[in-house]
Amino acid sequence: MGTRPPKALLLLLLLRLLPPRGASAGSLQSPGLSECFQVNGADYRGHQNRTGPRGAGRPCLYWDQTQQHSYSSASDPQGRWGLGAHNFCRNPDGDVQPWCYVAETEEGIYWRYCDIPTCHMPGYLGCFVDSGAPPALSGPSGTSTKLTVQVCLRFCRMKGYQLAGVEAGYACFCGSESDLARGRPAPATDCDQICFGHPGQLCGGDGRLGIYEVSVGSCQGNWTAPQGVIYSPDFPDEYGPDRNCSWVLAPPGAALELAFRLFELADSHDRLELRDATSGSLLRAFDGARPPPPGPLRLRAAVLRLIFRSDARGHAQGFALTFQGLQDADADPAPLEGSTQTPAVPLDGANVSCSPGPGGPEASMGGETGVGGGSEFGGGPSKPVLTGLVCPQPRSSRR
């Protein structure tokens, strides 16, 4: 193991730099364009096969010819990480974005990141510089030794802010769109710190905020935009037991098209219902034993209500689905032929544990700030002291 990074800091998350704001008009407006619903592109299954500009646009090696390295199709027999007899960029090890091996260069560098414009988790706005004075996000803040992305999202949602930013693995800042307008984007790979409360997630970087819209992983919402994305409650954390959430989708049009990008419910007791919001009639229901079919789903309803419930034992990664309004009321409710969408493969990470070191957070939001605890951060310092992390970073220099 000496030379390979923990194989699976892989669950979710982190990073993908969205063009700051101008280009995004809300990442929620263009979910159809995204090929990734996890921030770090762990779910990327697209076909880019060259490294990014900083990797000098080199061709990627085929994963079935990289047995000399830690990751190859042989190390992924079930295709869980999307490796195979191809040379497409992938992120099998929970790095900050998809990468690939390249033919060794004279500097001895044998892998490079791929910059994939279509790979950005809707709702994640990117990695931003936070010099601290003034803070890049001007709202309330706090720290937690159990910080996860959703702990921060929940905190900022409760405080009535639109944006939540995680930083340095344990700090959380809330802000609004106007903060973002003066935000300074940083390279996606700067946001590479593991969340203290979840080794599979990344929570910003040193002096770098990973910023999200608070609607990500919310338990309710009314959506009237022409298209959008709904994540399961608490996403990118797992959803918890006894959740009862409901979203209303009312895009313009007479019908709706849904596409599941990720679907992993614990069992048949955890269930997602699609109802016609007007009549209340049940259109479709999916659960852990009966996942949605691959491909887009067309529903003959102008306004849809999604209801998600989990039982007392329920917890799993959850789902991400995109929707858009269709003018055509004549939509066929059956999955379309020839779709290339496949439900994302559930990812499961090896256990990696790490903890804040002795020089860790000075102020704490309280160790109770756990997932689903609904607890609130204590009055945080205006700027946490960023020192003493002992958690490994998903840096891949050892790959």
Q: Maximum Cα–Cα distance for the chain, whole Å?
A: 67
Return all residues near 30 (Cβ < 8 A) that are at least 6 apart: 24, 122, 227
For ligand NAG, give the closer residue by CB, 47 or 54: 47
> Smallest distance, Å, CB 69 to ligand NAG?
18
Q: Which is nearer to ligand NAG, 78 or 351 (CB)?
A: 351
Instruction: List residues binding ligand NAG (CB under 6 A).
Output: 47, 49-50, 59, 87, 222, 244, 248, 277, 309, 350-351
Phi-psi region of 296 (alpha: psi -120 to 50; beta: other; left: phi over 0): beta
| CB nearer ligand NAG, residue 49 or residue 75 | 49
Of 269 and 383, which has the nearer Cβ to ligand NAG? 269
- Going by C-alpha positions, the residue among 186, 260, 176, 167 that lies closest to residue 18 is 186
The distance of closest approach from Cβ of residue 159 to ligand NAG in the complex, given in angstroms and rounded to an integer, is 17
> How near is the Cβ of 332 to ligand NAG at its closest, in Å?
26
Nearer of residues 128 and 239 to ligand NAG, judged by Cβ: 239
Cβ(168)–Cβ(202) below 8 Å: no
Nearer to ligand NAG, 178 or 222 (CB): 222
Q: Which residue is nearest to ligand NAG (CB)?
A: 59
Closer of 41 and 384 to ligand NAG (Cβ): 41
Nearest approach, Cβ of residue 318 and ligand NAG (Å): 17
Query: How many other β-carbons are positioned within 10 Å of the β-carbon of residue 282?
Result: 11
Joined together, the tokens standing for residue 153 give 């999202």
What minimum distance in Å lies between the beta carbon of 226 and ligand NAG? 17
| Both structure tokens of 149 | 């992305």
Instruction: Kindly tell me which of 73 and 87 has the beta carbon lying closer to ligand NAG.
Output: 87
Shortest distance, position 148 Cβ to ligand NAG, whole Å: 17
Between 201 and 364, CB nearer to ligand NAG: 201
Task: Provide the minimum distance between the beta carbon of 395 and ligand NAG in the complex, in angstroms, as a whole number.
Answer: 21
Beta carbon of residue 74, minimum distance to ligand NAG (angstroms, whole number): 19
Nearest-approach distance from CB 62 to ligand NAG, in angstroms: 8
Q: Are strands 227-231 and 318-326 parallel, antiparallel or unpaired?
A: antiparallel
Rounded to a whole number of angstroms, the minimum distance from the CB of residue 58 to ligand NAG is: 8
Taking residue 115's Cβ as centre, other Cβ atoms within 10 Å add up to 22
Q: Which is closer to ligand NAG, CB of 50 or CB of 261?
A: 50
Which residue number, 58 or 69, has a Cβ lying nearer to ligand NAG? 58
As a whole number of angstroms, the distance between CA 17 and CA 120 comes to: 7
> What per-residue string of b and e applies to 375-393 under the rule 16 or more CB within 10 Å gives b?
bbbeebeebbebeebebeb
CB of residue 244 vs ligand NAG: minimum separation in angstroms? 4
